[in-house]
């Protein structure tokens, strides 16, 4: 189960499908308020969005799955593992937080104000400064432009109300004091140049989840799965192989 981040839909996993589907059944979907999913009245929380994920698993007849989430998706994934631990074979959390600190909260408020003030297209350009690492910006400007063009050309662009409600879910997320209840194999990762959710937040998660491990990707920021897809995919598959090779926990 691939759970997308803030403002993203299932297409955000485009660089992962071929690599992961060679061995696994891969489910990528639109969170509420993204892509073709509905945008019901608020308030929205990560617990509510985790319930959406579990309901989708029920509808598809999936008893248990490896769960991977990035950014907001990582917050949702935490709540999935806490709500129904028996249904999560392993957990991967990238570029995310267990509890937004004051800096992240201020940043998110700023990004929402930018979108309200200059609109979706301008906000995409502004958000790119936080999504991509310095290396990507400096050395691959054409790649950044390509992804911004793709984001701006979405067939189902996210409405301003949905953007705000997903932002509410991010800003109210707080699983830090409950993460010690997660017992499944857990990998926490992120880009070394991530400005939006710096590695200090990943380390906080690793300290809270028993036996969680931290892996980082160089030359990448918040959008690590776009910026360094080969390394990201290899990291995912290596972890999954290790999980499947490990003896069951009795």
Give a yes or no: residue 239 inside a domain.
Answer: yes
Domain assignment of residue 131, yes or no: yes
pLDDT of residue 238: 97
Structure tokens given for 183:
């017992």
Evaluate the CA torsion angle 193, 142, 163, 14 in order and state its sign: negative
Beta bridge partners, 91, equal: 67, 186
Cα distances (Å, whole numbers) of residue 213 to 2, 37, 191, 203, 207: 19, 33, 15, 9, 9
d(CA 23, CA 28): 15
**Mean pLDDT across 20-28:** 97
Q: Please give the tally of structural domains in the chain.
A: 1
DSSP for 119-157 reads HHHHHHHHHHHHHS-HHHHHH-HHHHHHHHHHHHT-SSP
So what's the pLDDT on residue 120? 72
Per-residue confidence (pLDDT) for residue 248, from 0 to 100? 62
Residues 6 or more apart whose CB falls under 8 angstroms from that of 248 comprise: none
Cα gap 91→79, rounded to integer Å: 11
Write down the residue that tokens 């639109």 correspond to: 30
Share of the chain above pLDDT 70, in %: 98
* Cα gap 131→221, rounded to integer Å: 6
For every residue of 54-116, DSSP letters joined together read HHHHHHTT-S-EEEEEETHHHHHHHHHHHH-GGGEEEEEEES--SS--HHHHHHHHHHHHHHH
More reliable by pLDDT, 116 or 230: 230
In a domain, 250, yes or no: no
Decide if 135 contacts 193 (C-beta within 8 A): yes
pLDDT (tens digit per residue) in 168-198? 999 999 999 999 999 999 999 999 999 999 9
Residues 6 or more apart whose CB falls under 8 angstroms from that of 41 comprise none
What pLDDT score does 124 carry? 80
What's the CATH code of the domain at 199?
3.40.50.1820
Expressed as residue numbers, the domain containing 58 is 2-245
Asked whether 228 and 217 are in contact (CB, 8 A), the reply is yes
189 domain-assigned: yes
pLDDT at 152 over 80: no
């Amino acid at each position: 189960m691939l759970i997308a981040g803030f403002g993203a839909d299932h297409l955000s996993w485009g660089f992962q499908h071929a690599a992961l589907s060679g061995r696994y059944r891969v489910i990528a979907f639109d969170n509420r308020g993204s892509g073709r999913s509905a945008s019901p009245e608020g308030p929205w929380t990560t617990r509510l969005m985790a319930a959406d994920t579990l309901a989708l698993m029920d509808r598809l007849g999936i008893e248990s799955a490896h769960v991977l989430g990035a950014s907001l998706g990582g917050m949702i994934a935490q709540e999935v593992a806490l709500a129904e631990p028996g249904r999560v074979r392993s957990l991967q959390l990238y570029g995310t937080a267990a509890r937004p600190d004051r800096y992240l909260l201020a940043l998110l408020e700023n990004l929402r104000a930018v979108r309200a003030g200059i609109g979706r297209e301008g906000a995409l350009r502004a958000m790119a400064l936080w999504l991509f690492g310095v290396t990507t910006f400096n050395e691959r400007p054409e790649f950044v432009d390509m992804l911004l063009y793709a984001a701006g050309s979405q067939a189902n662009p996210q409405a301003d109300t949905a953007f705000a409600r997903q932002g509410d879910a991010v800003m109210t997320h707080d699983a830090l004091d409950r993460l010690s209840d997660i017992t499944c194999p857990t990998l926490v990762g992120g880009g070394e140049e991530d400005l939006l959710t710096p590695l200090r937040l990943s380390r906080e998660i690793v300290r809270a989840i028993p036996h969680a491990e931290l892996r980082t990707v160089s030359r990448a920021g918040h959008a690590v799965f776009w910026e360094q897809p080969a390394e990201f995919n290899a990291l995912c598959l290596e972890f999954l192989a290790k999980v499947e090779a490990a003896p069951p926990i009795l």
